[in-house]
Structure 1
Amino acid sequence: MNATAEDRRRSPLQTVDRALQVLLSYSERRTQWSVTELAEEFSLDKSTAQRLLAALAARGFLRADPDTRRYTLGPTMWRMALLWERTGGLARLADPVVLRLAEDTGAAAAFAIPDGTHVRCVAAADGSDGPLRSSALVGDLYPAHAGATSRAYFAFIGPTERRALLWGRPMGRFTDRTEVDVHALEERFAETERLGYASSEGEYDENTRALAVPVMLGRRPVGSLTVGQSVVEHPGTTLADHLPRLLSASLELTDLLGQNSAAVRRRRPTITRRGSR
């Protein structure tokens, strides 16, 4: 088979691969492409770049701005991501990581993702220490102002976004340790961002202590990873010794979520070791 025929045979797969590379090239820093920019970035001629972008736009994966002629991500990307999450794709991805974390630490482990002004648990496993509570953790919602699980996410979205999303809304007091003062909460968020992790005891559930870290994708948190235990069953202890294992599990999830994406940047916060509050 001569080279021309071989190129012809491989071209459909090469075209699909190029289209996927284009989609994966979008990131927080690169939110749009022009035909000329894409051609230069991928060493394509302009007509090929134009056809790739137009084909992706025709299926809704990209959206072409009629004025600037630049291409941004389109609604099909959102629909596919929502379908993946709603059909359990995210949970299936996280389950093995969460299970190993629970086995290695003995504590209950959970992965939660943002859900409005809360985070929602999508994967959880009990450790040898026993369950945190009699009901299942998956599906639980944790408010932004109470507990390490939510604070480990909301501390890393930044004060401006956090202020717009959270403040001015009513905040329930779940226990005597629940903080509802906005200024005191901002201090806790700032401390969590500085330390790289959050710890809590009795803020949301008076019988639970927790240690949590953000799961980062690029410069953004996509959720939080937590280990927790019963205060009643384990009085006077902390979860601080589990921090290195918790951080390694967080990076493992980052790798899984950002697989094959050039946009992923590992951000491992500087850690200052402290006990739970």
Structure 2
Amino acid sequence: MAAENRVEAVERALAVLDCFDGEKQALTLAELAERTGFYKSTILRLIGSLERFGYVGRRASDGRYTLGPAVWRLGSAYRRRFALAGAIRPELATLRDHTGETASFYVRDGDKRVCLYRENSLRAARHHLSEGEVLPLSGGASAWVILAWTGGDDERSTRVREAGAAISVGERDPDVAAVAVPVLDREGGFLGALSVSGLASRFGPELREAAAEALRESAARLRGVVV
């Protein structure tokens, strides 16, 4: 990107927001400084503007900083822009009930993936993840599907495209196995990855294959719904 199309102050403010990665609900000024590498005085100036527009708040109890309501508003707007939303949720519930495992829909966000929609398994022992969770693209069935359908030209991406699905066992979490397929629009454009994941100890090869077939059926029903 050309330098004239970038605003350093905006990028620094966004770097502050990126510190809130979901691992901790609130951060101290020192923690923000450590994560960004910025001087505390710089962070305070940036936070002043972020607070003004509702992107960051400060807890009165301990002075720690948290994300503000404006972030939720933008996140909600982003999720609403998917016309698929109304169709995906019933499919996720169907997949969960059919397989007994957790069903999810992921989209790509730069070099990461975001769990946009999810229906967690109703079993007490399950693979649980919250909507909005950000995960790397370095492992997991949904990551391989996303990479394969967004420009991946390596051998694994080729195999995933040929198979029309990806399977992972213990890649991101040693106790979790997952199956994922692409969700395409009516013109073949990639929308996201539809996934079923569960404890590897019970989500064995036969069940994964059955889940893959159920996922393909769901993806076929979703195809044609335009974003």
Task: Pick the TM interval, shorter chain.
Answer: 0.5 to 0.7
What SS is found at the alignment partner of 1:257?
coil
CA 1:234–1:253 in structure 2 vs 1: closer, same or farther (change >3 Å)? closer
1:211 aligns with 2:159: no
CA contact (8 A) 1:197 1:213 kept: yes
Looking at structure 2, the residues matched to 132 and 139 of structure 1 have their Cα atoms a distance apart, in angstroms, of 18
Match of 1:127 among 92, 109, 121: 121
Contact 1:200 1:211 in 2 (8 A): yes
* 1:96 alignment partner, one of 71, 90, 94: 90
Structure 1 segment 76-95 matched on structure 2, within 5 A: 84-87=77-80, 91-95=85-89
Match of 1:196 in 2: 164
TM-score normalized with structure 1 length: 0.48
Q: 1:233 to 1:247 in 2, by over 3 A?
A: closer
Q: 1:133-184: per-residue Cα shift (whole Å, max 9, x none)?
A: 3x53312223222110111121012346xxxxxxxxxxxxxxxxxxxxxxxx
CA apart distance, 1:84: 4.4
**Equivalences for residues 58-73 of structure 1 within 5 A:** none
- Give aligned-pair identity as a percent: 24
Query: In structure 2, do the counterparts of structure 1 residues 156 and 136 end up closer, same or farther at CA, with 3 Å as the change threshold?
Result: closer
CA RMSD of aligned residues (A): 2.8
> Structure 1: how far apart are the matches of 2:79 and 2:204?
38
Contiguous gaps of at least 5 residues in structure 2: 1-74
Give the match for residue 228 of structure 1. 197
What pairs with 1:146-161 in structure 2 (closer than 5 Å)? Answer: 146-159=139-152
Give 1:132 deviation, angstroms. Answer: 3.4
Confirm or deny: 8 A CA contact 1:149 1:198 kept in the other structure.
Answer: yes
2:155 to 158, 175, 187: 187
Q: Report the CA distance between 1:86 and its aligned residue.
A: 4.0
1:241 to 186, 194, 210: 210
Q: Closer, same or farther in 2 for the Cα pair 1:223/1:234, shift >3 Å? A: closer
Distance, in Å, in 1 between the alignment partners of 2:159 and 2:170 is 18
What's 1:79 paired with? none
Contact kept, 8 Å, 1:157 with 1:220, in 2: the verdict is no
Contact 1:98 1:124 in 2 (8 A): yes
Q: 1:237 to 1:120 in 2, by over 3 A?
A: same
Output one character per residue of 1:210-269: Cα deviation in whole Å (capped at 9) or x when no partner: 0000011223211000011112455676411122211111122223336xxxxxxxxxxx
CA spacing shift, 1:211–1:86, aligned 2, 3 Å: closer
* CA gap 1:256/1:138 in 2 versus in 1, 3 angstroms: same
CA contact (8 A) 1:119 1:223 kept: no
How does the TM-score come out when normalised to structure 2? 0.58
- Cα distance 1:126–1:83, how it changes in 2: closer, same or farther (>3 A)? closer
Shift of 1:197: 0.4
Give the Cα separation in 2 of the matches to 1:252 and 1:199.
21
CA contact (8 A) 2:141 2:179 kept: yes
Q: CA–CA distance in 2 between the matches of 1:199 and 1:112?
A: 15
- Aligned 8 A contact 2:108 2:114 in 1: yes
